[in-house]
C-alpha cells in the first residue's frame, strides 16, 4: 500500500501546479493546456508514479503519450526510458515551462536523488509510489487538481500528434 505523501511532497506538488497555473498580466495562462499535457508525462514518468495510481484524466494523458511516442510497454524500464528520452529530444517541451520545473526540482534536490534512483522500480511496479496525484480520494490538505483540473482531456494531444506526422 502506498505511503501517505509528506508535507514536502504536497508542497512540491503544489509548487509544480503553481508553475502550470502561471498567468500574464491579462489573466491568460503562460502555458497552454497543450504544453502542460506535453510535459506532464515527462514529469510523471520521471517521478516513477504508476499509471494506476493516477486520476483517470492523468491516465488518459499517459495513454495518449504512450501511443504518440510509440512506447513499447513490454520493454525494460531502461528501454522505455530511452524511448521517452528520444521522443522528448525530437519534440521538446516549452523551454520556459521545462526550465521552471527543472529549477523547482533543483531547489528540492534533497530527496530527489532517491526518487530518481527508485523511478525505474516504480515504473515497473517493483516499488509503490507516494506521489499525491492519484486516483484515490484526496486527503485533507491534498492538492486538488489546480492546473490539471482545467485541462481538456478530449484530444488535447492531437496537435502534438499532427506535428509528429
Task: Compute φ and ψ for 112, nearest 5 degrees.
Answer: -70, -30
Helices 33-47 + 95-107 axis angle, to 10: 40
What percentage of the chain has pLDDT greater than the value 90? 32
**Are the CB atoms for 91 and 164 separated by under 8 Å?**
yes
**Average of pLDDT values for 64-82?**
89
* Mean of all residue pLDDT scores within the chain: 74
pLDDT band, very low/low/confident/very high, at 39 (cuts 50, 70, 90):
very high
Question: How far from the centroid of its chain's Cα atoms is residue 165's Cα?
Answer: 24
Residue 35: is its pLDDT beyond 90? yes
The three grid cell numbers given for residue 44, joined into one nine-digit string: 510523471
Per-residue pLDDT tens for 43-58?
888 877 777 788 888 8
Per-residue pLDDT tens for 109-129?
755 555 555 554 554 455 554
Higher pLDDT, 131 or 103: 103
On whether the pTM is more than 0.75, the answer is no
Least confident of 7-11, 15-19, 60-64, 101-105: 7-11
Higher pLDDT, 67 or 147: 67
Amino acid at each position: 500500500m502506498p505511503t501517505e505523501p509528506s508535507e514536502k511532497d504536497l508542497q512540491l506538488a503544489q509548487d509544480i501546479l503553481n508553475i502550470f497555473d502561471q498567468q500574464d498580466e491579462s489573466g491568460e495562462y503562460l502555458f497552454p493546456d497543450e504544453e502542460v499535457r506535453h510535459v506532464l508525462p515527462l514529469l510523471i514518468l520521471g517521478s516513477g508514479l504508476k499509471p494506476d495510481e493516477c486520476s483517470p484524466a492523468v491516465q488518459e494523458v499517459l495513454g495518449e503519450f504512450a501511443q504518440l511516442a510509440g512506447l513499447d510497454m513490454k520493454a525494460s524500464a531502461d528501454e522505455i526510458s530511452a524511448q521517452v528520452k528520444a521522443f522528448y529530444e525530437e519534440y521538446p517541451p516549452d523551454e520556459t515551462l521545462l526550465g521552471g520545473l527543472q529549477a523547482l526540482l533543483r531547489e528540492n534536490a534533497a530527496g530527489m536523488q532517491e526518487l530518481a534512483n527508485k523511478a525505474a522500480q516504480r515504473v515497473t511496479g517493483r516499488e509503490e509510489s507516494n506521489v499525491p496525484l492519484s486516483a484515490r480520494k484526496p486527503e485533507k490538505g491534498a492538492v486538488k487538481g489546480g492546473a490539471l483540473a482545467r485541462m481538456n482531456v478530449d484530444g488535447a494531444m492531437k496537435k502534438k500528434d499532427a506535428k509528429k506526422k
